[in-house]
Structure 1
Amino acid sequence: MFSLGQIQFAVFFAITFIIVMIFSYRKDLKLHQQYYKGSIWILFFFLLFIAGLFVVKTLLKD
């Protein structure tokens, strides 16, 4: 499906992208803690909402 060169490029790109994102996040960590305090609750309730939709879909499937 994919050639060896395409797979190698995808792996190299993914690893490089993750490394750059880690360095960028660490550079801005103090700003993130100051301006995005409490944002973990938004993520928690969003995931809870998605899980609720999945449960409703599963229950109404029959």
Structure 2
Amino acid sequence: MAASDRAAERGGLRLLGATRAQVLRYVVAEALAVIAICFLLGAVAAVTPAIRTRGVAIPRS
């Protein structure tokens, strides 16, 4: 989602009565959720090849 769309969403939250602190908590929680998901996907992407090649000799050059 574009940053401009997110700004409009935050403005809508403010119009609905959310305080600045509530909007800030929402933004921080969303950012932490994205970081956690990306970390897990990265870990899976890094570990999967290691598991698949376990026991396979890697030729030396």
Tell which has more relative contact order, 1 or 2 (C-alpha 8 A, sep 6+). Answer: 2
**TM-score, with structure 1 as normaliser:** 0.47
- Which structure features the higher share of helix residues? 1
**TM-score, with structure 2 as normaliser:** 0.48
Higher gyration radius (CA): 2
